[in-house]
Structure formats: C-alpha cells, structure tokens
Structure 1
Amino acid sequence: MVCAIVASLGGVQAKADPGVYVAGEAPLGGSAARIDVYSPAMDRVIQNRVIKAAGAGAPTLYLLTGLGGGDDGISWWDDTDVVQFFADKNVNVVMPVGGAFTLYTDWIADDPGVGRVRWETYLTDELPGVIDSALGASGRNAIAGVSMSASSALDLTIRGGSRFDAVAALSGCPWAADPLGIGMASAQAVRGGGNPGNMWGVPGGAVWREHDVFANAGRLAGKTIFLSAASGLPGGLDRGLPMPPVEAIAGACTAAFANRLGQLGIPATYVHRPTGSHTWGQWEADLREAWPHLAAAIGA
C-alpha cells in the first residue's frame, strides 16, 4: 500500500511502507475499531485499537501501555475512560496491542523468550503510514507511554526525528546507559523471559548509549514534553492494585529527567503528584492533564 504525501494542517502524511497493509478491521462500538496491521519488520499482524476522529485531517495520538503490552487485559482501553474522553476530540487515538516486556524498541537479535521484536520500526516507520492513509490523518502525531512505555515514548520521540511533535511520559523511569539504568531496563526484559543482550547488546555498549535518553535528551528540543509521576503514597486518584515502591522509584526517575531537561534549557511540563501509587486511576488523571499540551502541539 502506497499513499501520496499530502500536506495538511502543517503536517505531512507518512508514506506507507509498500509491505505494510491493513490485514483486517472490526468495529468495537461507536467511533472505535480494531485495525489489524501486518508488520514486515516483525513478520506478523499487530492489533491496534483505534478511536477515530469524526472527519479526515485530524492528527493522531499513539498510546502505549505498560509491562504486559495489553495482551494481559490491562491497558488504556481496559482500565480507563479513554474511549469516552476522546469521543468528542479532534484526534485519532491508536493503541497497539502487544509488546510485553520489550520496551517497545528494536531488539538487535531474535530472542527465544520474546521472539522478533521491532517495535521502534513498527511505531515510527510502518504504522503511521497506514493510519494516515486509512483515516486521512494530518500527519501530525503525539505519543504517550505509561510505566514501562513512558521511557519508550521518550526514546521513540528522540529517535523518530520529526515523526512525533509531542510526548507524554507518565510514571516511568527514563533510562541511562549506567549501571542503574541498565539494571532497570534489563529487569523488564528478563521478567518476560527475554535476554537483554538480544535487546541492545553488551550492557553499556554502543547500542545502549544510542538509547540513553539522558545523554540524548538534547534531541527533544522543539518538542512538547509532558512528564508526570507521584510520590507512591496511596491517594484519592488511585484505582486498582497500588504499587507504592514502583511509583516512588518512578517519581525519583522522572524528577531526575525533568532536571536534566532544565539543565539543557528545554521546556517541559512536569507534574509531581503528592499522592498516587502506580494505578490506572492516577494515569487517567495524568492523561487528562497532559492532553491540552499534546493537543496544542499537534493541532487537535
């Protein structure tokens, strides 16, 4: 499938990879649909839950989920009011299903535990072209991630060049190619049965440094950035199983990354909540707070 490059609302529609195609579509009620897309990079079909804007020419928000990739029934779709919230918004919302324990990155080698992983290629090169063509989207995009995928959203924005105009990282732990960052990123891959060496090679080596969001933070200049995390203390926004230690770590990591951006003179909106313990109730509120910033950046 090849689509023309069309300028609209200041954005440019992505040209779809000729090998990428819509393998199927099914209604999910209202303006929502499941759009299945074949990824040549991973040689399989990826499910994507999509909330369609009312008309053509709307921008797109890509929403990534946490450690289980949504295959576990835990996701924006399953655990928040995302469908109702975006029903009247001038934006297409795309929520890929899959990517558990992968950090939504391209692994340098196929892995016995997690298989062939090329999520960066899918999210930056393959999927946007299909979405732009199928929905008549404007070509202007934002991306948001939560927990595991918060750091991934930052990494994808850095590495995606002009693909994403805005990014929201909610309750994540932005990684660096230092022992702490290597340990935290590796632990997420290992939990899914993956070998971190198949992800980015020798710990601390060249590929790890390429994905070091602290070292590469300067490449976020000109993007709209929203960061949020909480203290780990349970509070009124929480809904679901609280994980106070995880959120406390995310709070420290996010504060450190906000400080890094400040050192570089890169503007960012940073929200630190006094209560919140790594639950979907917290993230539902975070996304609502992030949305006006993302919307302004992509013309929604």
Structure 2
Amino acid sequence: MTGFGAVSASADPSVAGIPTGAVSPDGSRITGVEKIDDHSIRLQVHSAAMDKTFPVDVVRPADTSRPRPVLYLLNGADGGEGLASWQAQTDIPKFMADKNANLVIPVGGPFSYYADWIKDDPALGRNKWKTYLTEELPPLIDAALGTNGVNAIAGISTAGTTVLTMPMAKPGLYKAVAAYSGCAQTSDKLGTAFVKSVVGMGGGDVENMWGPPGSPEWLENDAYINAEKLRGLDLYLSSGDGSPGKYDTVDGRAEQLGGGRTQIDGDDNQLGVETLINQIAVGGAIEAVTNFCTRNMQQRLDSLGIPATFRYASGTHSWGYWQDEFKHSWPFLSRGMGLS
C-alpha cells in the first residue's frame, strides 16, 4: 500500500505463517499472533497513537497462494468487546472461510464512533481510531498477511456512520463501503442527538470527541454534507424500517444462528424474552431513525449523481438482519475489491 512507509518484520518466529514482529515507522506494531483454527487467527496490535494494544480477529482467504484484498468489518457501539459482535452473534466468519479475501475485525473503541477525539475522555480514555484504521493498522495488515493492497470497509450502527467517513479521511485506501443501519448525518439536530446518546451510553463527553456541536469537527465527520467525497466508491447502504420482522420472535432469534440460542439470550428463558422485548421496542425505535437517515443519504447521493445500492426491509436494529445484509452486500463488496 503506497503512502504508509515501509513496515519491517523481525526475525520472530511465525504463527500460522504470520510474522509476529511487524513494526511501522510510527511505532505501531504486531505484538502477538494466536491461531484460532485452520482459517482464523487473532493478532495483538499496538497503536502508537493510543499507546494501547488491541485484538484484531482475522479470517484468512480460502486460497492464500497469492496476495488477496482485505475487508475491514467494524462492530457497533461497544466495539465488539462484549458479546455484541460479529464473531459472537453471526456466522459471518464461517461465511467468509471459502472467500478469497482477508476478513479483518478490529476489537476495541466502545462508544467512540471509531473517531479521532480531540481530547482524552475521563470515561473512555484516548481514542484515535481514525488514525488507527487509516494509518496504523492497514500497513501492518498488508505486511503480515501479504495482501494485494486493495481494501473495503463495512460496519453496523455507529460504525455505519464511520465507514462512510473513513474513505474521506484517506482517499484511495478503500474501494468499497457497506453501511448497515447507520446514520450518515452527524451535524444537524437529529444527527447530533443520535451521536450524543450513543457516546453518553458509555459515559463519555461528546465534546471531548468533536468539540461543541456545530464546530468544524462535527461538520468534517458528516458524510451527508461531504457526500461528494464518496464519488468513485462502490457503495451499499441498508436499513430496516423499525417494524418487527422475521428475527423479532423467540424462534426467529434462534433461527439466526442455525437453530441455536444466541449468546445474548442467556440461560434464563425470561432473560431471553426481556431481551427480545428490548430488541423490538428500543431496537425498533433506533432502526426507524437509521431508516430516515439512510433515505436522506439516498436523496443526497441521487442529487449529486453518485451511484449507490440501497436496500430497505422490515426489521429492527439487531444482528439477524445485519447478518443477512452482510451476505446480500457481499457481491458488491467483492466487486469493489476486484474479486468479481
């Protein structure tokens, strides 16, 4: 990947063929590699900007005989640190096992919007996730996995906002983008309220992220306002409408993972019912907002003559729908990465 500087690899022994000592000029580095199974590894990546080490889960391509592209897949509000993650709640890692792309799922950054915060936060600490995802992690991934330098990025919920701004921060880094149940607009009243509510859930002060609402940082991170910068990308955006759909029943939640209980249901059936009620009530309201935002973004892109694929369906702000949307978006992401 051009523009990042050389990444060196130490003589450390490798795990599953991955060198354990890749280091960037800025000091970011891979500090460890763990083999999970025949297709998957977990990297430990130290961020120089945040002075902290984070896990990164990787599903390797089916055929590693030549360099392959990378799909970065971001989690939602809690950064994948708990059970609300692609790994725990979907079969996407299994789905990707026979594809010829590296799937990279960073872990960390709860309630940060994967942004570069202007100040350290008493509750959420130092967040320089835009730097991490555009400057620090990609060259390390390219060096460690032997990629072909072609990338795509996808994400849900809060990350459905972020994945639209990452290509603006580093033009040319990503070729395709998929945003599921996100809200592109961040600087108007609706967008500001949405961002405030998410950051507040983690105890963070939103002014430590982008300053007072209306400041330049809020405008800079508004993909709706800056939509012209998305021209040339393969774009896929989707949202439910907030009404109960096929996964908003007890049986539907079990069907999501092939008939088993989802890991957030717990051992107590009552807990499962309470979680389902929350999914319908709270998840329905959130998804109604993201539906409004996504339709606004569609009008904005249409007005600029920027092609994009949009998909709408019934359903709430929950994992079964995101699993389906990822699979539906795969042909678009694949095309953007030059695989089809």
| Class of the TM-score when normalised by the shorter of the 2 chains | over 0.9
Out of 310, 328, 331, the residue aligned to residue 292 of structure 1 is: 331
Counterpart amino acid of residue 296 in structure 2: A
Out of 295, 300, 317, the residue aligned to residue 255 of structure 1 is: 295
Q: How does 1:20-39 map to 2 (within 5 A)?
A: 20-39=28-47
Structure 1: 5+ residue stretches without partners: 5-14
| Counterpart contact for 2:207–2:213, Cα < 8 Å | yes
TM-score between the two structures when normalised by the length of structure 2:
0.82
Q: How does 1:11-160 map to 2 (within 5 A)?
A: 16-53=24-61, 54-55=63-64, 56-160=66-170
Describe the superposition over 1:6-40 as per-residue Cα deviations: whole angstroms up to 9, x where unpaired.
xxxxxxxxx94441111101111121010011100
Deviates more, 1:69-78 or 1:15-24: 15-24
**SS in structure 1 opposite 2:126?**
coil
| Counterpart contact for 1:158–1:217, Cα < 8 Å | no
Structure 2: 5+ residue stretches without partners: 9-22, 254-261, 263-275
Q: Distance in 1 between matches of 2:214 and 2:202?
A: 21
In the other structure, the counterpart of 1:11 is none
| Counterpart contact for 2:241–2:312, Cα < 8 Å | yes
> Shift of residue 236 of structure 1?
1.8
Aligned pair 1:221/2:231, yes or no?
yes
Structure showing greater radius of gyration is 2
| Counterpart contact for 2:7–2:25, Cα < 8 Å | no
> Shift of residue 184 of structure 1?
1.1
Describe the superposition over 1:53-107 as per-residue Cα deviations: whole angstroms up to 9, x where unpaired.
1314100000001111111121111111112100010000000111110000100
> Shift of residue 2 of structure 1?
3.3
Counterpart amino acid of residue 3 in structure 1: V
Q: How does 1:195-206 map to 2 (within 5 A)?
A: 195-206=205-216
**SS in structure 1 opposite 2:224?**
coil
Q: Percent identity?
A: 41
Counterpart amino acid of residue 25 in structure 1: V
Aligned pair 1:2/2:2, yes or no?
no
> Shift of residue 186 of structure 1?
1.6
Counterpart amino acid of residue 2 in structure 1: A
> Shift of residue 52 of structure 1?
1.0
TM-score between the two structures when normalised by the length of structure 1:
0.93
Q: How does 1:138-287 map to 2 (within 5 A)?
A: 138-238=148-248, 239=253, 241=276, 242=279, 243-273=283-313, 275-287=314-326
**SS in structure 2 opposite 1:29?**
coil
